[in-house]
Amino acid sequence: MDIGTLYNGIKLVHMSCAGASVSLFTARGLWVNVARRGLWRWLRIVPHVIDTLLLASGLTLAFLIHQYPFFNSDWLTAKVIGLIAYIALGTVVFRGPSDRRWRALAGVLALLVFAYIVGVAVTMRPTGFLHFAL
C-alpha cells in the first residue's frame, strides 16, 4: 500500500471519529441533562474509545506529514489545546455541578470549541474559519 492511500484511509477514520464524537456528545448531553435520564453503560464507554481513536489517528497523520504539535506546527498545537478544552468541558457537562445552567453553558462552549477545531483542521491555521474573514 502506498503512503498516500494509507494517509487517506487514516484521515477518513479520523474524520469519522470526529463526526461520531460530536454526535454522541450532543446526544448524551441532551439525554442526561434535558431528558434527565441515566446513560446505558455502553454509552459511557464508547465515547472514550472514539475520542482515543480520534487523538491516535490525528497524531498518526501528524507524524506522517512530519508536523508535530508544540514543536513545528502552530495549527496542530491549536488542535491539541482545543481537544483538551473540549474534553475538559465535556467532564463539566457529565460530572460537573448539579446546577444545569452551568452544564448547559459548558455544553454550548464545548460545541463552539469543536467547531473551532474543525475550522483549524480545514484551514490548517490556528485562526480557524476566522482566517477567511481576516
Which residues bind to ligand HEM, rule: CB under 6 A? 11, 14-15, 18, 54-55, 58-59, 61-62, 65, 69, 76, 79-80, 83, 86, 114, 117-118, 121-122
> What is the spatial distance between Cα 17 and Cα 61, in angstroms, rounded to a whole number?
14
Q: Sign of torsion, CA 83 86 89 94? A: negative
> What is the spatial distance between Cα 11 and Cα 121, in angstroms, rounded to a whole number?
11
3 state DSSP class of 79: helix
* Of 46 and 100, CB closest to ligand HEM: 46
* Of 32 and 83, CB closest to ligand HEM: 83
Q: Shortest approach of ligand HEM to residue 1 CB, angstroms?
A: 17
Give the distance, in angstroms, between the CA of residue 70 and the centroid of all CA atoms in the same chain: 18
DSSP state of 69: B
Q: Shortest approach of ligand HEM to residue 67 CB, angstroms?
A: 7
Of all residues in the shown chain, the one whose CB is closest to ligand HEM is 58
Q: Shortest approach of ligand HEM to residue 96 CB, angstroms?
A: 19
* Of 27 and 40, CB closest to ligand HEM: 27
**Residue corresponding to grid cell 448539579:** 98
3 state DSSP class of 66: coil
Q: Shortest approach of ligand HEM to residue 8 CB, angstroms?
A: 9
